[in-house]
Amino acid sequence: MENLDFDFLQIDNNVENQKIPGMERELYIYPLKSIFKENDKNKELLSYSPNVVNLKIIELDDCQKITAELIESTQFGYNSKQSIASLDNELVIVSKCDKTYSLDEKINYDPNKLYLVSEFEIKTDKDIITFGQLLQSYNIDRTNFELTNLFSNPLITTTSLEEWKPKDANSLVVKVGKQYSSFKVKQIDLTTPNAFLLESLNSFGANSLGEYGNASINSFESLYPLWLNPIDLQRNGKLRVLNYWCSNRILPISDVMKISRKYDNSDEIGKLLKFDDSSKNPIKTKKEENDIESLIITFDDITVINRFYLKGDALGPDEFRTKHISHQIEYKNNEQFPFVLRPMALESNKDAGITTEMKAAKYIPTLLNKMINFKFNPETLYGGIIGHSYDVKITKNMRISYTTNNSIDTSSLYELLLDVMTATFNYNNNFKGAGYKNNETKELNYMALYKQEFEGKTIREYIDGLESAWEKSNPEFVQTKQYDNYKKIRTMLSSETYGTFSIGGNKNSDDKFLLPYYFEIISKPKFKDKDNNIINESKKGDGIWKYDEIIVSCKSNYFSKDFKPLLPSLSEKKILNSNNDSFVWQNMNDIISETKLPSLSNGDLKTSDENVGKFLVYSKFDWTKVYGTSEEIIKNKAFFEKNQNIKEKYSFSLGEYNNSIKDITLTALYGSGKYDIHLVDENNKKIELNDINLFNPQQENIGLVKILL
């Protein structure tokens, strides 16, 4: 039998290359380029990581336009290798192709370049997103049956921009632009999402000698700092942070400014701590009857309408109306005035329930007479014929508050603060002069007697005891604004004293590093005897050092004296120095991990604990408006979005190493969203890169993104 030689590759082109109607396409092929030509000399084409964004451009006038046929039947895998870095390691991406085309002619193709393919001419960035595909493979080897699919014409395969990446990596970003052979960046402008909190900004480029390094970067404008500590990474990728500065652990800046404006600011501090003497500190809590000293009755709205004019008894205007009248009466016994009073509303001509609601109800007209100086007739008012001569209309509830026999001394918190500072000074001075008043009788002098109070206790325990004793003596005043202010002032005096309220337990200079502003005491104690008389300190143990006023100076490592934020360097870590102590804020990691704090108490917040001093971040939003105002100390992204409710534009200056920038690195919290990045040169020429998605909204623990240019 005659052998038949089948050469499938010699099939008549007329059969092989017949086009299927409707599958013809015009293809536009654009080479992908780096913004700066120098960067295309790098070995790696793309780098992939959750922390890397590859940014490329196409130039609209650098395009190959060819005719092709779309082949629908081919579905196969592909392998593409892209260097992950300057190392020899390679990352293999495996996926499916989206489209395969048979080309009528060969294209100019460099295997060391990437190409964007579109069935429509690209004119805008939106066109790239809508129509752009990446050229995955280009094959003209007719011996490869799988790829040629028995076609003699060249074949290309393409894949979408979204598919061209490993799992968890960022998609390639392609923009319409222009490639520059030289561009010296003097300024970077960033427009950022709402919740964006910047930790650092770096760029890597060349100097005038062609040497590469990181440029020094500074903000043109004031940026407001925040200390944030990530403490809770939830399963859904959301991150919660400790936001101490915005919590109610410190005084709001409005109070601090009032204090700092005066040298002798003891009165301003006293105002924050003083209880209102005129009202005798009313409270709304029900007390035991024998503790009641007086009751305060308040009506918010009373109207008296005159129905008749009685001769010889002028009742005043036709209608008398008053708002918010209050009267305090001494509580003598429960017959004269009842202890239990329920809020109630009295309406015109409606007497129902009055006598059953209140004991000794007929005392109310007498009370009203005192409150509005108007003559009521108890018999007509409560005798069942209200309105016989005039009506009384109480349109809003009556409110009652109490004062007690143990009403607090209005200045007791200020006195407590004086005692705390007195204890601290004498302790730090080692109770100098303590000893015997009489060596023969072994009678202790005043300083020695004072020192005895501390025996068996640490200084922290002693001061905690003073504050605990105040709380036990005044339980109804623990939840007051005045006591909240006391705790805030104590926190801001952390380096000046000891105790639970002191940051870091008065170790090192923790408050100076971990607070936006703090107090230093500048008033001096006086040497006083038992009778509180000032005596000569030469008398040694006959007296102790006592503070009789608290005058402070407000200091900050982050703000000027007029509370303007200091301009930070965004490319270098902030190093703080104080009293032979120093502290460096930590660098934010590529992937942020939650930190385990011993507790949220002031005493456990120590800079010596690497879990505490995490990240100092910045924002254009004036966070000083929020310092010291929030009840909650743990915050999530929504809190920052609510306050920073507009997109902000940041401008940064660049020092040396600002030519042909290879990359820009952002470290930030809550940075997911769209960015505009503008590079400005010395002649104010601008490269605009708009609507770039950075950071993954589903992974709020990603703290760093490197943008490869």
Classify residue 587 by its DSSP letter: P
Q: Is 317 exposed, middle or buried (0-12, 13-18, 19+ CB in 10 A)?
A: exposed
pTM: 0.75
Q: Which pLDDT belongs to residue 290? A: 46
Cβ of 359: how many Cβ atoms within 10 Å?
15
Alpha-carbon distance of 190 to 500, in angstroms, equals 43
Alpha-carbon distance of 155 to 435, in angstroms, equals 101
Q: Is 569 exposed, middle or buried (0-12, 13-18, 19+ CB in 10 A)?
A: middle
Element (H or E) spanning 25, and its range?
strand 24-31
CA angle 583/575/217 to nearest 5° reads 150
Q: With beta carbons less than 8 A apart as the criterion, state whether 183 and 44 touch.
A: no
Measured between alpha carbons, how far is residue 626 from residues 195, 245, 485 in Å? 15, 8, 16
**Cα dihedral sign, 58-61-64-69:** positive
Element (H or E) spanning 529, and its range?
none
- Of 408, 456, 190, which Cα lies nearest the Cα of 283? 408
Q: How far is residue 530 CA from its own chain's centroid?
A: 49
Q: With beta carbons less than 8 A apart as the criterion, state whether 597 and 612 touch.
A: yes
Give the chain's end-to-end CA distance (angstroms, integer): 67
Cβ of 548: how many Cβ atoms within 10 Å?
15
Classify residue 666 by its DSSP letter: E
- Of 120, 122, 114, 49, which Cα lies nearest the Cα of 84? 49
| Residue 705 β-bridge partners | 666
Three-state DSSP class for residue 640: helix
Q: Which residues of the chain have pLDDT under 50?
A: 1-17, 73-94, 142-150, 278-292, 302-327, 329, 331-398, 402, 405
| Residue where the block lists tokens 């592909």 | 78
Alpha-carbon distance of 348 to 405, in angstroms, equals 37
Element (H or E) spanning 207, and its range?
none
Alpha-carbon distance of 551 to 456, in angstroms, equals 31
Q: With beta carbons less than 8 A apart as the criterion, state whether 30 and 58 touch.
A: yes
Measured between alpha carbons, how far is residue 549 from residues 484, 526, 534 in Å? 20, 10, 14
Q: Which pLDDT belongs to residue 298? A: 57
Q: Both tokens of residue 23? A: 């599958």
Q: Determine how β-strand 52-58 pairs with β-strand 704-708.
A: parallel
Alpha-carbon distance of 631 to 643, in angstroms, equals 15
Alpha-carbon distance of 603 to 606, in angstroms, equals 7
Q: Which pLDDT belongs to residue 426? A: 96
CA count, 13 A, side-chain hemisphere, 63: 19
Measured between alpha carbons, how far is residue 68 from residues 62, 118, 161, 597 in Å? 19, 12, 21, 63
Length of the chain in terms of residues written: 709
Q: What is the DSSP string of 83-120?
A: ESSSSS-EEEEEEE-SEEEEESS-----TTS-EEEESS
- Of 328, 319, 278, 318, which Cα lies nearest the Cα of 298? 328
Q: Both tokens of residue 525? A: 């104690």
